[in-house]
Amino acid sequence: MSKILYIKANSKPKGQSRTFKISDSFIDKYREENPQDEVITLDLYQEGIKSLTEEDIGVVFGPKNEESKNHPILKYAYQFADVDKYVIAEPMWNLSVPAILKAYIDYICVVGITFKYTDKGPVGLCENKKAINITSRGGIYDIEPNSNFEMGDRYLRTIFGFLGITDFTTISADGLDMASNDIEDILKRTIEEAENTAKQF
Task: Write down all domains in the chain, each with its CATH number in brackets.
Answer: 3-198 (3.40.50.360)
pLDDT of residue 135: 97
Q: Report the C-alpha dihedral over residues 151, 109, 169, 192, rounded to 10 degrees.
A: -90
pLDDT of residue 179: 86
Q: How far apart are CA 27 and CA 25, in angstroms?
A: 5
Of the candidates 177, 156, 175, 176, which has an alpha carbon nearest to the alpha carbon of residue 166?
A: 156
Q: In this structure, is the dihedral angle defined by the CA atoms of residues 69, 157, 197 and 13, taken in order, positive or negative?
A: positive
Whole-model pTM? 0.95
Amino acid at 91: P
Q: How many CA atoms lie within 13 A of 160 on its CB side?
A: 24
**3-class DSSP state of 197:** helix
Q: How far apart are CA 104 and CA 34, in angstroms?
A: 27
Q: Report the C-alpha dihedral over residues 15, 17, 20, 21, rounded to 10 degrees.
A: 60
Of the candidates 27, 43, 118, which has an alpha carbon nearest to the alpha carbon of residue 76?
A: 43
Asked if omega into 98 is within 30° of 0 (cis), the reply is: no
pLDDT of residue 146: 78
Per-residue pLDDT of the chain (201 residues; tens, 9 = 90+): 999 999 999 998 878 999 999 999 999 999 999 999 999 999 999 999 999 999 999 999 888 888 888 899 999 999 999 999 999 999 999 999 999 999 999 999 999 999 999 999 999 999 999 999 999 998 888 878 878 888 999 999 999 999 999 999 999 999 998 888 998 999 999 999 999 999 999
